[in-house]
Structures are given as C-alpha cells and as structure tokens.
Amino acid sequence: MTSPSPAVFARLCAFGLSLTLLGGCSALRSTTAAPPAFYALDSARIEGDATGRLPTTAPPTAPTLIVSPPHAAAGFDSARIIYVRAAHKLDYFAHGEWVDTPARMLAPLIVDALGNSGTFRSVILAPTAVAGDLRLDSEILRLQQDFASQPSRVRFTLRAYVVDNTTRRVLAWRVFDESVTAASDDPYGGVVAANRAVQSVLGQLAGFCATATAHWQPAAATVPQRLP
C-alpha cells in the first residue's frame, strides 16, 4: 500500500484538527449557562403601608426612631436565593439571585412601613447625624423556600429590638415568623411568596413598635445644682 505524500498527510491532519475544533466549539455553545434572573424585595402594593392603612401623621410629641441597618444570620447574608429540601442543609438556586442582600433590601422597607404608621415623628435609617430618641435593631434569622412539603412554602423570620437611645435600655423585643405558600415551585414563585411574607412581618413590626413605645417618655433632663 502506497503511503500518502507529506503534503497530503498534512492536509488530512489539518482537516481532522478543524473538525475537532468545530466539535469543541459546538459543545461549548451547547453547555453555556443561561444568565441568572435577578429579583427584589420591594414595597409594591396598591395603597397604604404594610399594615394596610393609609399613612397618618404622628403628634409633635412622638419620638424619633433610628433604624439600624438589619443584620443577617450566617448563611442568609448573601444575594443568593436559598431553598431547603432537608433539615440543616441550605441550597441555592443556580439561575436566580436577589439584586442585593435581603438585609440591605429590607432596611428601606422598614423605614417606609414605620414612617407611615403614625407612631413616630420621623423614622431615619442609620448611619445619621440625627440623635434619635429610640432605636430599632433587627436581624434576619431565616429567609428560605422550603421544599420539604408540597406545595413549597417561603419562611421569613425576623428578630427586632426597640432600644431607648438615652438609657440604652431594651424596651421590648420580639421574633416574627411568617410562612407563605409559593404559587409555583421555582425561584419566581418563591420570590412572590417572600415579598408577601415580608409585607406581613412589616405590618406586625409596625404594630409591635407602636405598642412598645405607647408609654415612652423622654428621660428627665438633669437640673444642675446651684452651688453656694
């Protein structure tokens, strides 16, 4: 059998290499991941605040509230959307993310809900130069879509403290825990349910803050003694 000439052999090798490269490119194109979808926690509603009431004006004697930026428990401090299928194991959706961390998205929603509640003269997000009368500290303990049961449910848990800024005394604290059924077992269904759960907790938070501060009085000013 006659061996191919060097020129023919080189052309055959080049042709084979081209086929290999084309196959590799096709494989890369077929496995390219779809870009993630981004979702938000927001205050979208028809009218009124998170409690379902129209905004009201607080009396001039009402306290000023400083809202500390919320914290998040370990595992819930990223922009990845969390779901669970088994106890103690957190998983993340591959193609769905929050536009920001839940804690940072929650901060302005708290200010909005409490500012419209009529309980406080003003509600301001820290850091601020304003010396408020009271402070609200909060922490997200849980925000996850649970597939352990069908249909899946989103659970949102928030711990909140109302603190007297002058005395540093905790006036009241409470853990809010809300669970909402998801309309579909996917990231979007979970996001819609998460927004409903957050709005429900914000309404409860507004009522809690109103009760906690109902009998608040500013600390008595110290009257300087007159020296002889």
- CATH number, domain of 83, equals 3.40.50.10610
8 domain residue, yes or no: no
* DSSP state, residue 126: S
Q: How far is CA 170 from the centre of its chain?
A: 24
pLDDT in tens, 29-81: 445 667 789 999 997 653 344 445 556 677 778 999 999 999 999 999 999 99
- Domain count across the chain: 1
85 domain residue, yes or no: yes
For residue 70, give the nearest of 46, 91, 41, 37 by alpha carbon.
Answer: 41
Structural domain including 170 reads 61-212
2 domain residue, yes or no: no
30 domain residue, yes or no: no
98 domain residue, yes or no: yes
Question: What average pLDDT does the segment 189-210 reach?
Answer: 97
- 35: cis peptide before it, omega within 30°? no
Question: What average pLDDT does the segment 127-155 reach?
Answer: 95
Question: What average pLDDT does the segment 162-178 reach?
Answer: 96
19 domain residue, yes or no: no
pLDDT confidence of 4, banded at 50, 70, 90?
low
155 domain residue, yes or no: yes
Let me know: does 70 contact 100? Beta carbons within 8 Å: no
136 domain residue, yes or no: yes
